[in-house]
Amino acid sequence: MSDPRDIGVFCGLDVGKGEHHATGLTPGGKKVFDQRLPNNEPKLRELFERLRSRWGTVLVVVDQPASIGALPLAVARDMGCQVAYLPGLAMRRIADLYPGEAKTDARDAFIIAAARTMPHTLRRLAPEVEAFAELQMLVGFDDDLAQESTRLVNRLRGLLTQIHPALERVLGPRLDRPATRTLLERFGSPAQLRKAGGGRLVRVLRSQAPRMAERLTDDILTALQEQTVTVPGTDAAALIIPGLARSLNSVADQRAVLAGRIEELLDAHPLSQVLTSMPGIGLRTAARILIDVGDFSRFRSAGHLAAYADLAPATRTSGSSIRGECPPRRGNRQLKRAFYLAAFASLRDPTCRAYYDKKRSEGKHHVAAITCLARRRIDVLYAMLRNGTLYRPPTPAPA
């Protein structure tokens, strides 16, 4: 994004599904355009061409860069206009500077364009290649599937706990395995499992999990013997459980297909090897970091990246009564979750585990210690990406 002093007109777009509201403001605050326009390419081109021919450089600012805001950004880029994104929190703070409590599209578009007075609130939107746009779409759908998988697992475990707690203790923790899901899809109740018998259960499990087939069958038969009474609702659960297991299998298959395509797109990215070389960062986490951060060039330091990821504590002081630090709660929540889960997964690494144990010994609880570890790993990751080097475990200091 160019220097704000070089911008001829700031065009704020309150994007919508069927139509947008556009407001154009000059650097001096003069309103040069304020009206609705349909969400189609010819009208958008007409607007941008009119502004560009009269005022020169045009900066198009939107409040939603994806979904319904994708077409205006693509048209603006194609016509040589600059584009930027105004986060929702910054937009609400700018709105407080102007009188009125009305919530209209025209006022929202004016507030978006009024960000010209606070250029530090704008986020640069780099041009997206087709592969990056595809990666963003795949990762977003994979996140939806992950939530659906969690919902189905919780529902299955809840039903099993209700009708047969001992059976849930055996099968519940193993629902991430295809063999367990296939077993519940074919035999969805304790009565059907008893009727199938040990030999048939072993044959079903052995096709997908040969190592655990006999052991899991023994655990299932032992659990079935612990309960002889039939809980009300067992027959209804026998109708529901196979469908849930079938849906869970379908979600797992879809995620496997997406993981293969995500891996192909990551292999073509120059920073993917750097990211995945760090302990705890897998394919999905690396993809999320690349989508939310990009090439890291817009962050001047690791501290700026940590602040964007909501992992840099904000200082709170007021006289002698309030002194401390607290989470800022204004960064990118999805990126914070990615860094947090990566830090949690890295506890198998000796270096990360030692730092986590150190924070625990200082009196911090588990979540705070993981957050501290995630913040420290950002320093390392930023240096890796800046220098283009792979992760190397620190060399122990000589005794």
Tens-place pLDDT, residues 60-84: 988 887 778 888 888 988 888 888 8
Ramachandran angles phi, psi of 300, nearest 5°: -75, -25
Residue carrying the six token digits 């001829």? 8
CATH topology assigned to domain 4-127: Nucleotidyltransferase; domain 5 (3.30.420)
For residue 134, is pLDDT > 90? no
Asked which of 130-144, 159-173, 209-223 is least confident by mean pLDDT, the reply is: 130-144
pLDDT digits (tens, 9 = 90+) for 10-30: 999 988 888 899 999 888 888
Asked which of 149-153, 314-318, 330-334 is least confident by mean pLDDT, the reply is: 314-318
For residue 373, is pLDDT > 90? yes
Q: State the Cα–Cα distance between residues 137 and 360, nearest whole angstrom.
A: 38
Q: State the Cα–Cα distance between residues 399 and 396, nearest whole angstrom.
A: 9
Tell which residue, 247, 171, 253, 243, has the closest CA to residue 212.
Answer: 171
- Whole-angstrom CA distances from 348 to 32, 296, 356, 393 are 59, 27, 11, 13
Point out which residues pair with 123 in neighbouring strands.
85
Ramachandran angles phi, psi of 26, nearest 5°: -80, 165
Residue carrying the six token digits 């007021």? 318
Tell which residue, 115, 55, 107, has the closest CA to residue 85.
Answer: 115
How deeply is 27 buried, as exposed, middle or buried, from its count of CB atoms within 10 A (0-12, 13-18, 19+)?
middle
Confidence of residue 374 (pLDDT cuts 50, 70, 90): very high
Both tokens assigned to 357: 């144990």
**Mean pLDDT to the nearest integer, 2-15:** 81
The CATH number of 135-264, from 1.10.3470, 1.10.287, 2.60.40, 1.20.950, is: 1.10.287
Domain ranges of the chain: 4-127, 135-264, 272-387
Give this prediction's pTM: 0.71
